[in-house]
Amino acid sequence: MPLYRDEAVVLRTHKLGEADRIITLLTRQHGRVRAVAKGVRRTTSRWGSRLEPFTHVDVQLAEGRSLDVVTQAETLTPFSSRLGDHYDRYTAGTVMLETAERLVTEEKQPAVQQFLLLVGGLRAMSAGEHRAGQVLDSYLLRSLAVAGYAPSFDHCARCGSPGPHRWFSPASGGVLCTDCRVPGSAGPAPETLVLLSALLTGEWAVVDGADPRHRKEASGLVAAYLAWHLERGLRSLEHVER
Ligand SMILES: [Zn+2]
């Protein structure tokens, strides 16, 4: 069987037979890959925690007829143990893993930007320099943008007229001017739209200085935007405190 090597983040695992697991990876060069890890559930497993969700690993895989097989794995960054002691970071990180899996839909189609965003997001989340909720919101907006769903927080998403505008509609792709406003548009505070824009572009001075009210409102709009663009909502997002 031909072998290949890549860098990956473990997104999810599920049981296979008595002792094995199927591991879903987001790799740097091969996009999303599902692979079998043999014997990983035995207490004497040589894999240890290297193939648990969140782990950033260097892996070697053997191409199989249906699923590839993990033949080697070395931990690069143990994000799981770094996030594990902080409930808010851990739950927010779980949403990131689920989002990455949902946005990278094709197997073995390179998704380098999604990979880099995820590793960068997990690194920021485990560093704890910014609030977990805002690291998550920033990641969600950016990963949606990379997936082709970039929201507009300045120009009207329908007619393109320059902002600032007062209305926001997830279904329309961002802010709307008064003429383009659709039923059910939200009317967030102007500061909330400034914050959303800063989350998307990574202006952390603006993000960290935001008022709690606006943080909360922005998180609600990010969740609505994400839900609109994913067919089914995210289970894990329900556990994040907002
Ligand atoms: Zn308009």
Separation of CA 217 and ligand 1 centre (Å): 22
Using pLDDT thresholds of 50, 70 and 90, give the confidence band for residue 233.
Answer: low
Distance CA(221)–CA(136), nearest Å, equals 13
- Is the pLDDT confidence value at 51 over 70? yes
Name the 3-class secondary structure at 231: coil
157-179 pLDDT tens trace: 999 999 999 999 999 999 999 99
Say if strands 31-37 and 68-78 run parallel, antiparallel, or are unpaired.
parallel
Distance 99 CA to ligand 1 centre (A): 30
Predicted structure pTM score:
0.94
Which one, of 164, 157, 155, 136, lies nearest residue 223 by Cα? Answer: 136
Distance 154 CA to ligand 1 centre (A): 11
Q: Each residue of 57-80: pLDDT tens digit?
A: 999 999 998 899 999 999 999 998
How far is ligand 1, taken at its centre, from the CA of residue 163, in Å? 9
Residue 223: which H helix or E strand, with range? helix 212-229
Taking the centre of ligand 1 as the mean of its atom positions, its distance from the CA of residue 136, in whole angstroms, is: 29
Structural tokens at position 20: 């094995």
